[in-house]
Amino acid sequence: MGLITAPDRPAAPLTSVDPRSQEGWVTTRLDFLVNWARAASLWPMPFGTACCAIEFMATAASRFDLARFGMERLSYSPRQADVLICAGRVPFKLAPVIRRIWQQMPQPKWCISMGACASTGGMFDNYAVVQGIDTIIPVDVYVPGCPPRPEGLMYGILMLQEKVKNERMRDERIRYEIAPDPTSKLYIPPPRIDELSEPFGNSVQQNRSAL
């Protein structure tokens, strides 16, 4: 009573779409579909150590609205994160910490180095600051600036999305977990690191002590 019963008619066939018809279905590459989904839902893990983190907060806040890029869910746990955004200078004391955070993130994962200090050490060419976090972990996008404007960070995020969209599943190298050398703890040859972090500009004379 009051029940709505189905009209008595034959059930529709399970495959209601004729494969030969030109309507009602699309094909796509699995690469495209997966990369589209990944690029539109990157969860960032903010590793903010300095003033760049303030700009990152501005980027995530309502005026610049990181949620437009599917990044409104900041993941403060590395195990649920896709993108490590290193914002600020990294001292040597934090080097094993950021490497452990990177190793805790599951694949697929990417890294944005935000600002001059995270990318190169910036003006801190001294005994305490890592000269670019790419000597510790692999970096996908470098965002220049001291600190970068939110527009700059968003441009870096768009570049990362572009990179994600162009990945190929058959390319197995992009999912390799880079294992550091067990003796030197580095994954870049030490002479390369020395060459990369040579003084330049005004810091050429900084090898002198004050005596």
Partner 1 sequence: MTAPNIVRAGELAPGAAPVTPYGIPHRDGAMNPSVDALRERFGGAIGRHAVVWGETTVYVDPARALDVVRWLHDDPTQRYDYLVDVTAVEYRDLDTPIEVVWHLRSLPFRRFLRLKAELPRDAELAVPSVVPVYRSADWLERECYDMFGIRFTGHPDLRRILMWETYREGFPLRKDFPLRGRFSRSEQLHQALAAHPENRYSMEELSIADAFQELPADMRERLGGERTGE
Contact positions toward partner 1, by CB under 8 A? 92-93, 95-97, 99-100, 125-128, 130-131, 135-136, 180, 184-186, 190-191, 193-194, 196-197, 199, 203, 206-211
Closest CB to partner 1 among residues 133, 164: 133
| Residues 92, 106: Cα–Cα separation, whole Å | 24
Closest CB to partner 1 among residues 77, 184: 184
CB atoms within 10 A of CB 72: 13
Contacts of 103 (CB under 8 A, 6+ apart): 177
Shortest spacing between CB 197 and partner 1, in angstroms: 4
CB atoms within 10 A of CB 104: 13
Closest CB to partner 1 among residues 60, 94: 94
Shortest spacing between CB 19 and partner 1, in angstroms: 57
What are 79's strand-pairing partners?
none
Closest CB to partner 1 among residues 96, 106: 96
- One-letter amino acid at 29 equals R
Shortest spacing between CB 78 and partner 1, in angstroms: 13
Start-to-end C-alpha separation, the chain: 100
| Residues 140, 105: Cα–Cα separation, whole Å | 15
